[in-house]
Amino acid sequence: MVEITGLVKVYPDTRALDGIDLTIDSGKIYGLLGPNGSGKSTLLKCIAGLLRPDQGQIKVFGQRPGRVTKAKVAYLPEIDYLYRWMTIGEIINFVAAMYPDWREDKVDELLKNMNLTKEQKINSLSKGMRARLKLVIAMARETELVLLDEPLSGLDPSSRGKIVDMILSEFRSERQSVILSTHEVGETENLYDEVIFLDKGTIRIMDQAEKLRQNHGLSINDLFREVFL
């Protein structure tokens, strides 16, 4: 699904990614874990085609990230990237017109589950509601790869719970992969099939979540604390 070899991404003042080798397989949820500034967002942006590698290469469904792969990848950035003057219905119509894999039948159900209505204005939504809307937009597509960048960042426990439940319920394990980046591991611990610990642009640990728990005798959350704190 995704093949990354020797990926290097350099910003003017820092080396954000430093020789990443990674393979993402179908049917799994990957936890991309690391502290702030570890390169999680940069890696997801590279896969989404919003950043270009300085060295190395990325193949998404066998192709370099670009217009073709963007049609097959659902990307949810950490920041609020929706037009705030639109209503939920307007942004849904806007995004639906852009993606051929949009599931019109699914949207109403997802909105209802997230306690959102199409008439609401985006600029009147709370941070938690906007985060839930972003997730609805990402999950309402029939994509094989979903990239979620810090979907729980700065949210209240109720919104966090709803988001985790939705990721779990909407994940189509037979043909989809989800890469979820976060530095708040506790609530997402049980989602992961595979875990990648990213530190200063390099992969520090990468293995199956269950294997890591057995080998270290710790939960992923405790292992994260041990490695990074």
Partner 1 sequence: MKAFWQLLRKELLAQRWAVGILLGLSFVWHLLLYSKIGIWYPQAILSLGLIPFFFIHLWILWISIQVYRTEWAEDTAYLLLSLPVSSWLITGVKLLTVVLYTCFSLLVIAASYFTFFRGEIISAIQPYLMYLETGWYKRDLINIGLILFIFFVGSIMLIHFSYICSRMVNRLRGLVLIWVFLLSNWVCSQLANLIEPLLNWLPTFGVDLPYVEFGNLMLREYRIPSSPFVSYILVVFGLFALGNWLWEKQIELA
List of residues contacting partner 1 (CB under 8 A): 11-12, 42, 45, 48-52, 66-68, 70-71, 75, 77, 79-86, 93-95, 97-99
What SS3 class is residue 211? helix
3-class SS letters over 140-201: CECCCEEEEECCCCCCCHHHHHHHHHHHHHHCCCCCCEEEEEECCCHHHHHHCCEEEEEECC
Cβ closest to partner 1, residue 16 vs residue 212:
16
Cβ closest to partner 1, residue 8 vs residue 95:
95
C-beta of residue 36 within 8 angstroms of C-beta of residue 13: no
Q: Which amino acid is at 142?
A: E
C-beta of residue 168 within 8 angstroms of C-beta of residue 139: no
The nearest distance, CB 22 to partner 1, in angstroms, is: 20
Cβ closest to partner 1, residue 71 vs residue 205:
71
CA angle 188, 192, 198 (to 5 degrees): 85
Cβ closest to partner 1, residue 134 vs residue 183:
134
Cβ closest to partner 1, residue 73 vs residue 110:
73
The nearest distance, CB 146 to partner 1, in angstroms, is: 13
The nearest distance, CB 24 to partner 1, in angstroms, is: 18
Give the Cα separation of 26 and 2 in Å (integer).
9
